[in-house]
């Protein structure tokens, strides 16, 4: 579904991505692992067009490099950034409705507002509350659910469990599995090995702007040298 080949990206003169290669299959959860600063978030931004890369980002047979972010989103790629952008001054429900693509109505796609409320009862209880006052975990739920409302075919999620309580982390893991069960592919950027290893079909490890390991969670579990060099603090 998504094939990234020889992807390079720069911030000024800093060469951040140095020939990144990976792929994500249909309905597959793939995790991109690594320490802070190795280029994982930049990879997502390059795919969605927030950073202009060179190389190839092939999605469903079309190269996305050079397209604007809204054009890429309209192709069927969703993106949940690490900073949990919500629209203050709008309610939880209004934030969800903003995720709908032009011309769509609630329920036209794979996901409805009721689906979101069924998965996260907190959002139902706070449907008419200004989204600004939601807790960190609730904001994370909201940003993920708002992206799903656009009915993407693949969703990139950057650090969804950062700073969340263990109970909420478990809910996020359950949501990721529910997303994949509906045929939506996931590229998961995550530091918590426990959740990535539990939900992923395959994992890639990044180091110094490149992919330094690829394989199954079991393969990574059996490679302590890789974990020590590229993942452990």
**Residue 107 reports pLDDT greater than 60:** no
Arithmetic mean of pLDDT over the chain: 91
User: Cα dihedral angle (168, 196, 233, 45), rounded to 10 degrees?
Assistant: -90
pLDDT of residue 26: 92
Confidence of residue 104 (pLDDT cuts 50, 70, 90): low
**Residue 146 reports pLDDT greater than 90:** yes
**Residue 106 reports pLDDT greater than 80:** no
pLDDT of residue 100: 86
Confidence of residue 232 (pLDDT cuts 50, 70, 90): confident
| pLDDT 10s digits, 124-139 | 999 999 999 998 888 9
pLDDT of residue 93: 95
**Residue 150 reports pLDDT greater than 60:** yes
**Which has more pLDDT, 173 or 90?**
90
Q: Distance between CA 153 and CA 120 in Å, rounded?
A: 21
In contact, 204 and 31? CB cutoff 8 Å: yes
What average pLDDT does range 104-108 have in this prediction? 57
Q: Which residues pair with 189 in a beta bridge?
A: 32, 158
| pLDDT 10s digits, 4-61 | 999 999 999 999 999 999 999 999 999 999 999 999 999 999 999 999 999 999 999 9
- Please list, residue by residue across 209-229, b when 16 or more beta carbons sit within 10 angstroms of its beta carbon and e when fewer do: bebebeeebeebeeeeebbee
Share of the chain above pLDDT 70, in %: 96
In sequence order, which residues have a C-beta less than 8 Å from that of residue 6 and are 6 or more positions away?
19, 20, 21, 54, 55, 56
In sequence order, which residues have a C-beta less than 8 Å from that of residue 131 and are 6 or more positions away?
86, 87, 88, 90, 91, 92, 94, 95, 139, 142
3-state helix, strand, coil in the chain (%, to 5): 35, 25, 35
**Residue 63 reports pLDDT greater than 60:** yes
> How far is residue 48 from each of residues 68, 78, 206, measured CA to CA in Å?
8, 8, 19
Domain boundaries of the chain, sorted by first residue? 2-87+153-230
Confidence of residue 120 (pLDDT cuts 50, 70, 90): confident
Confidence of residue 169 (pLDDT cuts 50, 70, 90): confident
**Residue 162 reports pLDDT greater than 90:** no
pLDDT of residue 191: 82
**Residue 201 reports pLDDT greater than 70:** yes
Q: Distance between CA 227 and CA 184 in Å, rounded?
A: 28
Pick the CATH number of 2-87+153-230 from 3.40.50.300, 3.20.20.140, 3.40.50.920, 3.40.50.720: 3.40.50.300
pLDDT of residue 222: 96
């Amino acid at each position: 579904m998504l094939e990234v080949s020889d992807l390079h990206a720069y911030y000024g003169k800093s060469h951040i991505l140095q020939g990144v290669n990976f792929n994500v299959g249909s309905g597959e959860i793939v995790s991109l692992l690594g320490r802070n600063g190795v280029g994982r978030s930049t990879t997502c931004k390059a795919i969605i067009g927030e950073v202009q890369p060179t190389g190839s980002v092939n999605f469903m047979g079309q190269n996305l490099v050079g397209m604007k972010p809204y054009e890429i989103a309209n192709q069927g790629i969703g993106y949940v950034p690490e900073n949990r952008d919500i629209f203050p001054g709008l309610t939880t429900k209004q934030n969800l409705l903003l995720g709908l693509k032009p011309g769509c109505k609630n329920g036209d796609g794979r996901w409805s507002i009721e689906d979101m409320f069924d998965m996260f009862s907190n959002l139902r209880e706070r449907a008419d509350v200004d989204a600004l006052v939601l807790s960190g975990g609730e904001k994370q739920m909201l940003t993920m659910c708002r992206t799903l409302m656009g009915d993407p075919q693949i969703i990139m999620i950057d650090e969804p469990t950062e700073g969340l309580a263990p109970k909420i982390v478990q809910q996020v893991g359950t949501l990721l599995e529910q997303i994949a069960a509906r045929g939506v592919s996931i590229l998961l950027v995550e530091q918590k090995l426990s959740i990535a290893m539990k939900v992923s079909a395959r994992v890639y490890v990044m180091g110094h702007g490149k992919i330094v390991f690829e394989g199954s969670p079991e393969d990574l579990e059996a490679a302590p040298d890789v974990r020590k060099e590229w993942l452990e603090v």
